[in-house]
Structure formats: structure tokens, C-alpha cells
Structure 1
Amino acid sequence: MSDDNMQDALADDWAAALAAQTEASQPAAAAVFPPKGTDSSANVFKPLSGDGATVAKTDIDMILDIPVQLTAELGHTRITIKSLLQLAQGSVVELDGLAGEPMDVLINGYLIAQGEVVVVNDKFGIRLTDIITPSERIHKLNR
């Protein structure tokens, strides 16, 4: 086969491939961009099955069983390893929180509320006194 015949065959193969690609892409383009004057909202926005409350309840049910870690912080302190190794039973560690000051309640490390310590049936608990709003949480993240 001569070089001219080979180049012609290669050009024909490319032409056939481009024609096939053009044919395949035209129906997809028509679906994305319907002709003017047609109602495209019927294809894009499908009606919800059931009322909005049912859909919202189904969405929230999907996340109800996801475990999160709740942490209650009385305060912080920074000590050296030497001081840490000297701790024994009965040692007192001074925290930066003041007595009577509300404690922080964190979910997965993010502050969501503040509260006070309560004792119920010989067990400690937290009475929430202030819930952090979403806008306050975003403000604290930006600091």
C-alpha cells in the first residue's frame, strides 16, 4: 500500500470517527437545550412524591443514628511533663476556669452550648444555659 493510499485510509477513519461522535452528541445536546418555545421545566423539576414534611422527615431519619462525641469542658491548663509525672492520687490540677463559670459543651470538638454542672441521682449532668447559634459558630470558626 502506498503512502497516499495509507493517508487516505487514515483520513477516512478520522472522518468516520468524527461523524460518529457528532451523531452521538446531538441527541444529548437536544436534551440539555430543548428547542425554544417548549416547556423544559417539566423535564427538569420533577414533582416530589408526598408532601414536603414527609421528605424532610425521611432526610433527617438518615442521620439520626450517626454517633457524635459530646465533651464537657470545665477548663484548661498547660503543665510540663515533669509536673505530669509528679501527679499522684489526691493531687489538685488548677484549671483556668473559674468556680461558677459556665462549662463548654462541644460536639466533635465544636462548641455548641454552655451549661452548668448538676447532680442527678448521684450522677453528674449538664444543664444547658446557652445554645450557640449557627452564626455565632461560624464567627468563632473565623477567629
Structure 2
Amino acid sequence: MSLSPLERLNFSEPRQLSAAEVRHLQRWQTNTCERITEAWGGLLFAPVGLVAGVIEPAHYRGALKSLPDPGIGVVLEVGDELIPTLLAVPSRLALGLLNQMLGPAEGEWPRERSLSPLEETLFATLVHEVSESISDGWPGIERLRVQLLESCRPRRCRRLPAESELVRCRWEITSGCGAESVDWLLPRASLEQLLETEEFTPVAADHQTDLEAIVLSLPVELSAQLGQTRLTMAELADIAAGDVLLLDQSVDRPLPLSVDGSVHWKGSACRVGPRQALQITAIVDVNGRTRQ
């Protein structure tokens, strides 16, 4: 008996999130990004694209070290237990969004600098919509409690539990200035407890129905093969109108009907009015077996 090779384990890496955790977090992040996009649409002169990106576990030190610097950190407390989380926004992205609040802005990113008092007030308006979207986007039965705590430099934040495992959720943003990303760090242990105790709403059936309807309405091209033959180059050059080519297909054998080169049915040639047709006589399964 042969033994399978041992999988190399890296104990320095945090363990992966469970499938259920990833599913709930993806739904939460997708809902949140959709709501932020809608809310910011009423504040910005030009729309921005915002989609949920990677969701992954991370160590405390490595996660903070990867945050933008300079950048703007926003501490948000979520849930009834007021779990501290950190939203890290690159400075140039914040300035680019603020420019979009004042008028159409495209081209290069603004030069990175500190926000003025007026800009801080305007940025707080954008962040407020983010906190509302996080609350509304929570896939639980009730809205999730979310409150803004403070702003800070992302790498100097001390609100997250030190030396703990975190979960990093990344949002990808595209604007007239280019693409950027925002990182949202959440304490893993507290987040897992929140996910375990929360009752989630089922995925709306109408969304699945709509998706099925779209898939079922997609056009698919079918092709029937009449047969094949082989000629020399000289014979091919001599073909003229009125010539009859002898194919390898017998007249009493059903013709194969294919989708993307894969045979799914067999049938007999027939006629419907002025058009040629194919009457299905057998179905071909994935193993090539036919059934009437």
C-alpha cells in the first residue's frame, strides 16, 4: 500500500476561515459595497466602482504593517459587544473622493497631504455612509449595531487586541483617478463569536430565480454533422458545381447533434415546410451511451 505524501504545514500562518464564515463574510461585504456605492452616488459628482475583494486571516503585526502610510484610519465598533475594527483608507484615495464631492475630477491622484478642517468634515460625511452601509449590509435578521469611535493613523492604531489574529476584508475602488483599495481589519475571535451567535437571513429566492431565468434564456448553438470525406488536393481543386461527394455517413445512421463539439443527441434528417430539420431519436449521456 502506498502512502500519500505528507502535506507540509506552516504553523506560522493563521488557520483558514471556515467555508461558512467565508460565505457569511462575502455576503456581508458584497451588501456593504453595494450600499456604499449607492449612498456615495448622491454625494460625488462622478460614480465610483466599489466591489468586495479578498477576505483572509492575518496576523496582527503583518496586517498593520501592510496598511497605507500615510493613510486615514477609522475605528468602528460593531455588534452589541462593541467589537473594535479598523478601516484603513489611503490618503490619496480620501483626497480623490473629496475632490469628487467638490466637482468632477479625473486624471492623476492628488498629492498626499493632511486633510484641512473642512475636508475632515466632508470626509466624515463619507465615513458616516460607510458605517450605515456596514450596519444595513449585515445579513442577519436585525441591523448590526455600528458606531464611529475615532480617527487615527492606521499603523498606529491601538484599538485592536494586540498580537491577535485578525480578519482582513479588502474593498477595491475604481475612480476617475485610478484604482485603490481599502482594508478593513476585524479581530478574528470576536468576529467568529459574532458569526456563531447570529441568526442569518436566507438568501432571497427571487435572486436565485432571476439567475436561473437568465441562464435558461442564454442562446446555445447546436450543429448537426452530415458526414465527412477525404479528398486529395488535386481532387479538391477539380470540384465543380453538380459534383456529388460521397460521405462516410450511412443514410440509415442517425446524425450526431453537438454543442461546442460535444455530441448530446442523435437524430434523423427530415423536412419541415421549406426547411431542413432533425428529429431526435436518441440522447447521448456524458459517457457516450445512448438512450432512446
Q: TM-score, normalised by structure 1?
A: 0.62
Alpha-carbon displacement from aligned partner over 1:70-115 (angstroms, at most 9, x marks no partner): 1111211122222111111111111111011100101122111000
Q: Which residue of 259, 275, 281 maps to 1:129? A: 281
1:12 aligned partner:
none
**1:116 shift after superposition:** 0.3
Q: Which has the larger share of helix?
A: 1
Deviates further, 107-116 or 22-31: 22-31
The structure number with the bigger radius of gyration is: 1
Q: Which residue of 188, 203, 211 maps to 1:48? A: 203
Is 1:72 aligned to 2:230, yes or no?
no
Where 2:212 maps in the other structure, the secondary structure is: helix
Q: Which has the larger share of strand?
A: 2
**1:24 shift after superposition:** 8.0
Percentage of pairs with the same residue: 23
Higher RCO, Cα 8 Å, sep 6+: 2
Any gaps of 5 or more consecutive residues in structure 2?
Answer: 1-60, 66-162, 168-185
Q: TM-score, normalised by structure 2?
A: 0.33
State how 1:89-100 maps to structure 2 within 5 Å.
89-100=241-252
C-alpha distance in structure 2 between counterparts of 1:125 and 1:94, whole Å: 21
C-alpha distance in structure 2 between counterparts of 1:47 and 1:74, whole Å: 50
What amino acid sits opposite 1:68 in the alignment? V
CA RMSD across the alignment: 3.2
C-alpha distance in structure 1 between counterparts of 2:236 and 2:197, whole Å: 67
**1:118 shift after superposition:** 0.8
What amino acid sits opposite 1:136 in the alignment? N
C-alpha distance in structure 1 between counterparts of 2:197 and 2:248, whole Å: 60
**1:59 shift after superposition:** 2.3
